[in-house]
Structure formats: C-alpha cells, structure tokens
A = this chain, B = another copy of it.
Amino acid sequence: MYDGPVQDLIDELGRLPGVGPKSAQRIAFWLLEQPQADIERLATVLMTVKEHTRTCSVCFNVTDEQTCRICRDPRRDRSLICVVEESKDVVAIERTREFHGLYHVLGGSISPIDGRGPGDLRIAELVRRLSDPAVEEVILATNPNLEGEATATYISRLLADTPGIRVSKLASGLPVGGDLEYADDVTLGRAFNGRRYVGDE
C-alpha cells in the first residue's frame, strides 16, 4: 500500500511474532520520526546479536561468554540445579530472588505433537552434570502444562534411582492475588490435594 521502503519496513516488522499489520504500520511511522542514530542502534544490535550469542557450556542459558553469569557466580549454591524449559524461565525465576542455585535449560519440552521427544532436549547433559558430587537436589520447574508435566515426569523417573540426588517439583496451587472463584478446576483440585496443615512449618 505504501511506496517503496516504508512498505518494506512494515512487511519486515509484520513478520515479528505478536506484531500485526496495524502495529507494524504504527511502529514504522514512529521509527521514521526517530533520530537516525537511534534506528541504527537497533539495526546494529540486530545485525550482531546472533553472532555474539551462544549458550552456556554448563547450563545452556543464553550468554555472550563461554559460561553464563549465573554459572560463573561463586556465590551460587552448587548443590541445587533448577531444570527449566527456556532461558526466559531462568529470568522469571531470578526475578523472584527466591532461588540461589544453578539452572539447567532443557531447550523445550517433550511434545509428541510437535515431534519433540526426550532426545531433542538437553537431558543427557543434565544427567552428566549430576556426576558432580556437589549436586544434591534437582528441582523440576517445567511449565505447568501438558508438555511441561510430561517432561517433568520423564526426568523424575529417569533420575529416581540416582544415588545422592533428591528430585523435587515446584508446588501447584492457587496463584497469589488470584480469586478462588475464577481458578480453573485443575488448579483448584491441585490446591486441595497439595494443602498444608497450618502449623506444620
């Protein structure tokens, strides 16, 4: 609809996930009003991001060095490994400041429908890390959906007999700040099954 490069920009922006044609147009016109230096900064980051990004050789989190910031940090508790699907899950957990161990990024979940089996995830690499005698506990923090649960079940069975390793899973229950009335049946059911007796802690 537009002449030349503006339409090219709208088309390219429209390919980004979650950016529809209207948003692409809005972003394109906004960009045209920005200083050239600002646009070039975005363009330069885009050009170089892939080349400068790799996965940590220990935990497979995204990083720009051999090992990631978390694995390099001497203050992290090396007895705990929290297993997540993606690097963005690491960030979500870090934001809580509740966990001070290490991570292991699987690179997805088991999903037969998408043709992803256990062999497509970094499960062998996880098992290899457990030979380090420092490791005491593996915390499964896959997504609370069908694929994530299947992945957690697979890994917990695989590790069941590993000597000196406890396997745990994040608690299921009502989200804090949520409304009981609006909780879905499965979440509410799990909240009942996982109930804790007051005074136990």
Contact = CB atoms under 8 A, between A and B. Distances in A.
- Chain A interface category by residue count: 35 or more
A171 interface: no
16 contacts: A1-B91, A2-B87, A2-B91, A3-B69, A6-B62, A13-B42, A15-B42, A17-B26, A17-B30, A18-B26, A31-B50, A32-B50, A39-B47, A40-B46, A40-B47, A43-B47
Contacts of A77: none
Interface in A20-74: 23, 25-32, 36, 38-53, 61-65, 68-69
Given A3-B61, A3-B62, A32-B62, 4 more contacts: A3-B64, A4-B53, A5-B64, A25-B91
Given A17-B30, A88-B29, A3 B49 contact: no
Interface string A170-198: 00000000000000000000000000000
Contacts of A13: 42
Interface in A131-153: none
A86 B40 CA distance: 25
Nearest to A69: B3
A8 B41 CA distance: 10
Contact of A45 (B8, B41, B87): B8
A91 to B, nearest CB: 5
A49 B39 contact: yes
A128 to B, nearest CB: 23
Given A63-B3, A94-B1, A18 B8 contact: no
A167 interface: no
